[in-house]
A and B are shown apart, each in its own frame.
Chain A
Amino acid sequence: MDLLDFARGPAIEFSLAVFVLGTIWRLAAVLLLPRRGDLSKAREGAPSRVSGAMGTVFRRMWPNKAFIHRTIFTTLNSYVFHLGLAIVVFGFVPHIQFIHGLFGVSWPGLPTNFIYGVGVITLVSLFAALARRLFHPVGRLLSGVSDYISWFMTAAPVLTGLLATSHLGARYETLLAIHILSVAAFFIWFPFGKLMHAFLFVFSRGATGARFSHRGVNV
């Protein structure tokens, strides 16, 4: 068994198992936690808990105007690499084929050259996010090893995917194997680092929104 066979077979299977186990573990552990009920009466005119929760999930997608000048770079850059990642992951035909192989669903893909361009922009954006974290005093203070590992686990598949597509640095099958292994590493790390925010942001924002809307505050 060569490296590509290992990557396409046992490595991806193991990583998906860890991903599913870890993600469901964390979600179940959070969602089944005991909740203390709020017995207070809702503020007059307050929206329901559900609509308050939903409102906050979407409202938090853009910063409050009081903070916009200080956070504009982080906000825009985050949009660039999040959308870039979504386009690359869900628009590239080989990726769609990977998903189709697992779940049996597929959709039309985008041109390879377009995906390549988006991939380059995404990688530049990820490096900009890293630079901000490294050179901004507050960002540096708030960052721990886990944050840098999460950044690496996200950037590595983008970088190796671009190298594989452009056949740079090694033979294609080696680059493809490294790319798949980097995705496997991403899956394994995902549930245990801050990448888990991809699932948890809905619940954390929703919980905050529900609590505050009950008190008549839009956050």
Chain B
Amino acid sequence: MNEHVTAISKRRDETLGDALSRQGISRRAFLKYSAYLASIMALPPSAAKVMAEGLAKARRQAVIWLSFQECTGCTESLTRSFSPSLEDLIFDFISLDYHHTLQAASGEAAEAARRQSMEENKGKYIVIVDGSVPMADGGIYSMIAGQTNIDILAETVENAAAVIAVGTCAAFGGLPFANPNPTGAVPVSDLVKNKPVINIPGCPPIPEAMAGTIAHFLAFGKIPELDDLGRPRSFFGETIHDRCYRRPFYDRGMFAKSFDDEGAREGWCLYEVGCKGPVTYNACATLKWNGGVSFPIQSGHGCLGCSEPNFWDRGSFYKPLSASTAAPGKTIAAAAAAGAALGAGAAMLARSRRNAHLKKD
């Protein structure tokens, strides 16, 4: 038992460089991975070496993962890597001290592990949250070990170094936040005001965005540059439309009219069948999924805009972006009737005035 504890303690103290050497990863392979991370984060080439050095010296980062109102899709996405990769090693290097789905401990032991990690890594640990926080009726719609999500979040982030909101539910409220939002769900950033909050939205988010953000934090000791919605610019700086391989068809005015017509089979633009790529900022079109195999548009379905706030309530997924989200039929019919009545009234007034004049004459 004592030998096991000593081994765990040693692994906590070893740097990523030591860990990679132990696992037989060459310095060359690690430099290539650092260059890959630097490139997907749009950092200059010189940053790759700095990143490699920073990562090699970095020690095991304590991470507490809180799962609130969510579907576990984010965890599925982040843990089901295509094959054993350096990303896995990065995640191995993280000390994931608390995670409902992945941890072996349960019940009181799990909660004790969370509190122990918070105590041992005061001011240094990262809190990752997936899922929104229900606020209605005192937060009773999602409770863990007798505590509401509100209380767990407040307690856990108090001494955290940073908070990463993973997935659209944690970043922007997501599906629980959708109208009529019966649980009063809110995003993490609504509740955490005194700590840096990084949003990595997506339903689910891209694994590389997660790995890259954590690697950036480990290598440089600070959070990456964020956009106005708190998302790392390196992954959320461009729209899917801008980097979509179907973009030339948009420019040529060639659009699929349905999901099984000739245009769809030829890979034409999916704008007319509701693709939200032009207003969705994410790296799906470049990093793709499942080891770079494909992404939704490549598989024949338009982008849903899942990394944007309120994507669930922005009208039909299958309505083109330029179409109105309103159904103005009744309003227009009422307006037409009112217009006809006003016009007829004005004409009758003119007639009565003319008749009055004629009578005078």
Q: B-contacting residues of A (Cβ < 8 Å)?
A: 1-2, 4-5, 8-10, 12-13, 16-18, 20-34, 93-95, 97-98, 100-102, 109-115, 167, 172-173, 176
| Contact, CB under 8 Å: B321 / A176 | yes
Report the separation of the CA atoms of residues A202 and B271 in the bound assembly, to the nearest whole angstrom. Answer: 37
Residues of B within 8 A of A113 (CB): 251-252
Report the separation of the CA atoms of residues A195 and B255 in the bound assembly, to the nearest whole angstrom. Answer: 33
B 323-348 binary contact with A (CB < 8 Å = 1; else 0): 11110100110111011101110111
- Closest A-chain residue to B334, C-beta based? A17
| Contact, CB under 8 Å: A33 / B272 | no
Quick check: is B322 within 8 A (CB to CB) of the other chain? yes
Report the separation of the CA atoms of residues A178 and B336 in the bound assembly, to the nearest whole angstrom. Answer: 27
Quick check: is B204 within 8 A (CB to CB) of the other chain? no
| Contact, CB under 8 Å: B322 / A12 | no
22 A–B contacts, CB within 8 A, in A order: A5-B314, A5-B325, A8-B326, A12-B326, A13-B328, A17-B334, A20-B339, A21-B338, A28-B343, A29-B350, A32-B343, A32-B348, A33-B347, A95-B322, A97-B320, A98-B322, A100-B323, A101-B323, A101-B324, A111-B251, A112-B250, A172-B279
Report the separation of the CA atoms of residues A98 and B239 in the bound assembly, to the nearest whole angstrom. Answer: 22
| Contact, CB under 8 Å: A12 / B334 | no
| Contact, CB under 8 Å: B324 / A8 | yes
Residues of B within 8 A of A20 (CB): 332, 335-336, 339
- Looking at the complex, which one of B241, B310, B320, B344 makes contact with A5 (CB distance below 8 Å)? B310
Report the separation of the CA atoms of residues A55 and B50 in the bound assembly, to the nearest whole angstrom. Answer: 79
Report the separation of the CA atoms of residues A94 and B310 in the bound assembly, to the nearest whole angstrom. Answer: 22
Residues of A within 8 A of B336 (CB): 20-21, 24
Report the separation of the CA atoms of residues A176 and B354 in the bound assembly, to the nearest whole angstrom. Answer: 49
Residues of B within 8 A of A2 (CB): 309-310
Quick check: is B195 within 8 A (CB to CB) of the other chain? no
| Contact, CB under 8 Å: A17 / B279 | no
Report the separation of the CA atoms of residues A5 and B344 in the bound assembly, to the nearest whole angstrom. Answer: 36
| Contact, CB under 8 Å: A97 / B322 | yes
The answer to whether residues A111 and B332 also contact, given A26-B343, A176-B321 and a CB cut-off of 8 A, is no
Main secondary structure of the interface of B (DSSP, over half): helix
| Contact, CB under 8 Å: B324 / A13 | yes
Quick check: is B253 within 8 A (CB to CB) of the other chain? yes
Report the separation of the CA atoms of residues A4 and B272 in the bound assembly, to the nearest whole angstrom. Answer: 18
- Looking at the complex, which one of A28, A110, A167 makes contact with B344 (CB distance below 8 Å)? A28
Q: A-contacting residues of B (Cβ < 8 Å)?
A: 239, 241-242, 250-253, 255, 271-272, 278-279, 309-310, 313-315, 319-326, 328, 331-332, 334-336, 338-340, 342-344, 346-348, 350-351, 354
- Looking at the complex, which one of A1, A29, A111 makes contact with B346 (CB distance below 8 Å)? A29
- Closest A-chain residue to B313, C-beta based? A5
Interface centre among B251, B253, B313, B344 (most CB of A within 10 A): B253
Given A5-B314, A12-B324, 11 new contacts (CB under 8 A)? A1-B310, A4-B279, A5-B325, A21-B339, A24-B343, A25-B339, A29-B350, A32-B347, A33-B347, A111-B252, A115-B253
| Contact, CB under 8 Å: B272 / A97 | yes
Residues of B within 8 A of A18 (CB): 335
Report the separation of the CA atoms of residues A53 and B123 in the bound assembly, to the nearest whole angstrom. Answer: 85
Interface centre among B251, B326, B343, B346 (most CB of A within 10 A): B343
| Contact, CB under 8 Å: A8 / B315 | yes
| Contact, CB under 8 Å: B326 / A22 | no
| Contact, CB under 8 Å: A112 / B342 | no
| Contact, CB under 8 Å: B323 / A29 | no
Q: Report B238 CB to chain A, min CB distance, Å.
A: 10
- Looking at the complex, which one of B253, B314, B324, B332 makes contact with A109 (CB distance below 8 Å)? B253
Q: Report A163 CB to chain B, min CB distance, Å.
A: 14
Residues of A within 8 A of B348 (CB): 32
Residues of B within 8 A of A29 (CB): 342-343, 346-347, 350
Q: Report A97 CB to chain B, min CB distance, Å.
A: 4
The answer to whether residues A17 and B332 also contact, given A28-B347, A173-B279 and a CB cut-off of 8 A, is yes
Report the separation of the CA atoms of residues A80 and B253 in the bound assembly, to the nearest whole angstrom. Answer: 23
The answer to whether residues A17 and B328 also contact, given A25-B346, A28-B339, A28-B344 and a CB cut-off of 8 A, is yes
Residues of A within 8 A of B271 (CB): 93-94, 97
| Contact, CB under 8 Å: B320 / A101 | yes
| Contact, CB under 8 Å: B324 / A94 | no
| Contact, CB under 8 Å: A111 / B321 | no
The answer to whether residues A17 and B251 also contact, given A5-B325, A28-B343, A97-B272 and a CB cut-off of 8 A, is no
Report the separation of the CA atoms of residues A32 and B349 in the bound assembly, to the nearest whole angstrom. Answer: 11
Q: Report A148 CB to chain B, min CB distance, Å.
A: 26
| Contact, CB under 8 Å: B343 / A16 | no
Report the separation of the CA atoms of residues A33 and B352 in the bound assembly, to the nearest whole angstrom. Answer: 11
Residues of A within 8 A of B347 (CB): 28-29, 31-34
- Looking at the complex, which one of B242, B272, B332, B343 makes contact with A93 (CB distance below 8 Å)? B272
Report the separation of the CA atoms of residues A115 and B251 in the bound assembly, to the nearest whole angstrom. Answer: 10
| Contact, CB under 8 Å: B252 / A24 | no
The answer to whether residues A110 and B319 also contact, given A13-B331, A32-B347, A176-B279 and a CB cut-off of 8 A, is no
Report the separation of the CA atoms of residues A98 and B338 in the bound assembly, to the nearest whole angstrom. Answer: 24
| Contact, CB under 8 Å: A93 / B350 | no
Residues of A within 8 A of B272 (CB): 93, 97
Report the separation of the CA atoms of residues A28 and B347 in the bound assembly, to the nearest whole angstrom. Answer: 8
